[in-house]
Amino acid sequence: MLLQGKKGLITGVANKRSIAWAIAQAAHREGAQLAFTYQGERLKESVAELANSLGEGTLPLFECDVSSDSQLDSVFGGLKESFGRLDFFVHAIAFAKREELEGEFVPTSREGYRLALDISSYSLTALAQRAVPLMTEGGSIVALTYYGAEKVIPRYNVMGVAKAALEASVRYLAFDLGPKKIRVNGLSSGPVQTLAARGISGFTDMMKIVESRAPLRRNVEIAEVGNAAVFLLSPLSSGITGEILHVDCGYNILGM
């Protein structure tokens, strides 16, 4: 029960294949009390169904499109009312236009660039600003990232740039929030078949390449990402902040 008595917010659950859902299940197993956000009415019912399957009555559920400051404000207003304080949150949100995730990076549009960076990177800072006043006993923040932030992954394009900004934000937030005993880390997951992943052209090939070359000769399982996130959220990682933890069967260590 690594998260016994802890109160946390999980963002980015779209369906049962979402990485955020794997993290929620692992955090719940370890005793955490959870609240969820969903993006728009379209997802409300499915996220509510998943949240309630955790079997603790109705869990706090907030509509939140991270590009809306007023929705972000009402999430944390609602959390203050329902939880009083917050111990952790998970950022598992990314978006880029489909046409920016195929072909080359060169034709990336100004609007596509702005949108990807706003939703996939700035949102971490926007969430942290509002979470900090509720993290009165310290806290832990975990953001989901990908190796395309560090190295060129063909067709990941503007999302790689957004993840690089997200990882830099992890470090700057960790520096500012350390004195408040709030830790901020990134979790760099290997490829997992999710809704967002299906938007990246050639994603199935990426999985095949990892399987054939990664030191563990397989792709990561989503439950392994959930468990690693629990480690970063829990006191077991109390000395770690500003770090990017790769949970990718070792793929990132390869030079060739």
* 3-state percent helix, strand, coil for the chain, nearest multiple of 5: 50, 15, 35
Q: Which residues, including other chains, have CB under 8 Å from residue 113's CB and lie 6 or more apart? A: 100, 158, 161
C-beta separation of 206 from 153 below 8 A: yes
Which of 130, 140, 124 is closest to 6 using CA atoms? Answer: 140
Which listed residue (38, 147, 156, 251) is catalytic? 156
Q: Which is nearer to ligand NAP, 64 or 182 (CB)?
A: 64
What is d(CA 76, CA 62) in angstroms, rounded to the nearest whole number? 9
- 251 as an active site residue: the answer is no
The Cα–Cα gap between 117 and 84 comes to: 31
Sheet holding 182-189, edge to edge: 61-63, 33-38, 7-10, 88-91, 139-145, 182-189, 244-247
Spell out, one character per residue from 133 to 152, where the chain touches ligand NAP: x when CB under 6 A holds, - when not: -----------xxx------
Smallest gap from Cβ 89 to ligand NAP, in A, equals 13
Q: Does 195 bind ligand NAP (CB under 6 A)?
A: yes
Q: Which is nearer to ligand NAP, 116 or 134 (CB)?
A: 116
Cβ 114 to ligand NAP, closest distance in Å? Answer: 13
Q: What does the per-residue mask of binding to ligand NAP show for 58-97, with x meaning CB under 6 A?
A: ------xxxx------------------------xxxx--
33 versus 145: smaller Cβ distance to ligand NAP:
145
Residue 247 engages ligand NAP in binding (rule: CB under 6 A): no
146 noted as active-site residue: yes
**Residues annotated as part of the active site:** 146, 156
Residues at the site binding ligand NAP, with contacts judged by CB under 6 A: 12-14, 18-20, 39, 43, 64-67, 92-95, 119, 144-146, 189, 191-192, 194-197
